[in-house]
Amino acid sequence: MLTAVSDAVILLDDNELITFVNREASSLIGSSEEEVCGKSLWEICKFLIQKSREPVSERISEGVTEDGTFTFPISTILISADGTERLVRGSMYLSLNDEIQRKTVRSVVFRDVSSRWQIDKATLRAQRSGVLKALAEGVAHNLDDLLTVLLARLSRIRRSYNDRNAVLLSITDAEEVINRISSLVSCLSTGQLGADSKEGITLVENVLKSTVRALSALFPDIELNLAYPDRTGYAGVTSDLLEQVIMNLLLNAAEASGGKGSINLTSCRIELEGDMEQIPAGNYIMISIVDDGCGISESDLIPIFDPFFSTKGKGRGLGLSAVYSIVHSFQGYYSVNSQIDKGSSFAVYLPVADRITIETANDIIPSIAIAGFIGMETDCLVATFKSLGCSVFDMTASYSDMELLSAVGSDDRFNLIVIDLKLLIPEAVISLDSISSDKAVIVITSSDEDVSEISGSNIVFLKKPFRIETICEAVGKCVWTRDLSKQTGSGGSI
C-alpha cells in the first residue's frame, strides 16, 4: 500500500534511521531505497526553511502537537541529492522513545507542491486581465458619479451667470471634477497597469504612483497613505510584474477593509548586512502594505498563497498565488502577519537592480537617537535603522531617565527620536514639550499599554515586537509621507 500511494513516505526506527522509502520518496530525494536504508533521516532528507535556510529539525521541538504530529512550516524545501530544491508540504509523526525519554520521528509523509505555486505566463496575463477588469468596472462606476456632479456644476453656472463669484466657484469645482476624471482615465491608459515589459529594471517610485492612482479610482473611500524615500530606486524586476504584485496586494487590502478602511503603503531600499527575520543578507526593495480590515485566521495563513484558494465568495483565488509566483521567480521573499478584526500586513522583498543606486540631495535620511532599550531590542532597532542608511546613536547609557528627554530634544544631531514608552510614563505622563517641533518621535509601546494621554502631530507609535516592515513604516510616517494629490507618473522601466 505504501509503495502505491502518490505521497512520499519514509519510515524510521527508534534511532531515526531509515528503514523504508516508497517510490515517490525515492524520486524526490534522488536516491534509491538501497542507498538510503540504515542512514540518518537528517543526512538524507535536507528539509530547510526556504527564507532562512534553517533546518526544519530545529523547529520540531516547538511545533509538535500532543498527538506527536509535526506539520512542515510554510515554504519548507527539500534539497535532493543532485541539489534540486523543491517546495514540499507534509508532516512528521513522532512517538516516545522509552530508552532516551524523548520523542523521535518514526515516519514522514510529504508531497512536492512546487508546481502549485508556479503560475505560467499565460495564467499571469489572464490574472492581470482580471485585475484590469475590476479596475475598469470601478472606474466606470466612479465616472458616472463624477459626470453627474460635473453636469450639476455646469447647470449652476448657467443659472448664476450674472453672479461672477458664483460662476468662478462653479468653474473651480468643475476643474476639480475634470482633473478627477482625467486621473481615473489615466490609471488605465497605455504604459501603466497591464503593460508588458521585456526589461528587468523598474523605477519603483513610478509603479507606486500608478498603482496608488488606480486603487484610489476603484476605492475612493479608502484612506490611502503612501511613504517612500527618493533613494528607494530601482528593483530588479519587470515593471508589469511589479505592478501586478503591488496591485494584487492593494486590492486584497482594500477588499479586506470593506472599501472604507485605511491602507498604509510603504517602500524603501534596505541593505541587510546579516540575516534578519528569515530574510538573508542582501540589498532589497521592501514594499509593505498594511490594512485595518477583517484579518486572516491562523488556519488560512498557510494556504492563502495556493492557487484558487480564496476566503471571499467572489474571489478568483489567484491574486496572492500570482504574488508568490512572481516574488519567488525573482529570488525575492515575503512575510505575512495578521490578526482577526485588527488587519493584516504583507511585505515583499525584491532584489535591488544591479549596479543602479539613487542618492538625492533633498532626500531625508534621518539621524536617529534611540533611548530606553537594552539587549536584543537595541540590536534590532540599530541594525534596521542602519540598513536604511540612517545614522543611529544609543543615548540610554549617557543620561539618566529624567535627563534623557531634554538631552535628545535639544541635540541638533538628531531629527528623529525613538524612545520607549516607559521613559514617558514612570508614574505620570511626562510632557514631550522639551522636544522641538522639527523633530519626529517614534514611541515604542507594548500591545496593552495605554497611549491615550500622549499626543502630537510629530509622534508615531510602534508596537512590540517590531519587525523590519513595521519599523520602516514608522520611519515612513515620520519623514517620507507623500502628498497623494501630487502623485503622477506611470510604471515605466528602463
Residue 239 φ then ψ, to 5°: -65, -40
What's the whole-number average pLDDT of the chain?
79
- 94 φ, ψ to 5°? -115, 155
User: Are residue 157 and residue 248 in the same domain, yes or no?
Assistant: yes
Residue 296: Cβ-neighbour burial (10 angstroms; 0-12, 13-18, 19+): buried
* DSSP state string for 345-412: EEEEEEEBPTT-----TT----EEEEES--HHHHHHHHHHHHHTT-EEEE-GGGS-HHHHHHHHHH-T
- Domain membership flag for residue 493: no
| Residue 258 counted as domain residue | yes
Rg (CA), the chain: 27
193 band by pLDDT with thresholds 50, 70 and 90? very low
* The last residue of a domain, from among 88, 112, 136: 112
Residue 125 sits in the same domain as residue 107: no
Domain finish residue from 67, 90, 112: 112
Same domain, 375 and 399: yes
Question: Within this chain, do residues 147 and 285 fall inside the same structural domain, yes or no?
Answer: yes
Q: Which domain holds residue 316?
A: 121-356
Beta-bridged to residue 78, according to DSSP, are: 47, 86
Instruction: Judge if 62 and 130 occupy the same domain.
Output: no
In three-state secondary structure terms, 273 is coil
Residues 256 and 378 reside in one and the same domain: no
155, 287: one domain: yes
Q: How many domains does the chain have?
A: 3
Q: Determine if the pTM surpasses 0.85.
A: no
Task: Verify that 451 and 474 share a domain, yes or no.
Answer: yes
**Among 32-46, 108-122, 352-366, 421-435, where is mean pLDDT lowest?**
421-435
Given a contact cutoff of 8 angstroms between Cβ atoms, the answer to whether 367 and 416 are in contact is yes
Residues 6+ apart with CB under 8 A from 373: 381, 394, 396, 420, 444
Q: Which of 298, 332, 266 is nearest to 470 (CA)?
A: 266
Residue type for 28, please? L
Q: With respect to residue 218, please indicate whether it lies within any of the assigned structural domains.
A: yes
CA angle at 10 for the pair 6 and 12, rounded to the nearest 5° = 160
Answer whether residue 166 is part of any domain.
Answer: yes
Which range has the worst mean pLDDT, 87-101, 130-144, 186-200?
186-200
DSSP conformation class of 414 = -
pLDDT of 102 strictly over 60:
yes
Domain annotation covers residue 37:
yes
Grid cell digits, residue 213? 492612482
**Cα 61 to Cα 366: distance, rounded to the nearest angstrom:** 42
Residue 421 has pLDDT above 70, yes or no: yes
State how far the Cα of 298 lies from the Cα of 352, in Å rounded to an integer. Answer: 32
Indicate if the pLDDT at residue 176 is higher than 80: no
Phi-psi group of 38: left, alpha or beta (phi > 0 → left; psi -120 to 50 → alpha; rest → beta): left
Nearest-angstrom CA–CA distance, 60 and 134: 43
Q: Among 54, 82, 112, which residue terminates a domain?
A: 112
At 490, is the pLDDT very low, low, confident or very high (cuts 50, 70, 90)?
Answer: very low
Q: Which one-letter DSSP state was computed for residue 112?
A: E
Q: What is the CATH number of the domain that holds 142?
A: 3.30.565.10
Q: Which helix (H) or strand (E) holds 242?
A: helix 239-256
Residue 211 lies in a domain: yes
Residue keyed to cell 542608511: 389
Crossing angle of helices 121-159/319-329, nearest 10°?
120
491 and 192 Cβ atoms separated by less than 8 Å: yes
Residue 491 within a domain: no
Residue 488 falls inside a structural domain: no
97: domain CATH number is: 3.30.450.20
Assess whether pLDDT exceeds 90 at residue 25.
Answer: yes
Is 36's pLDDT higher than 50?
A: yes
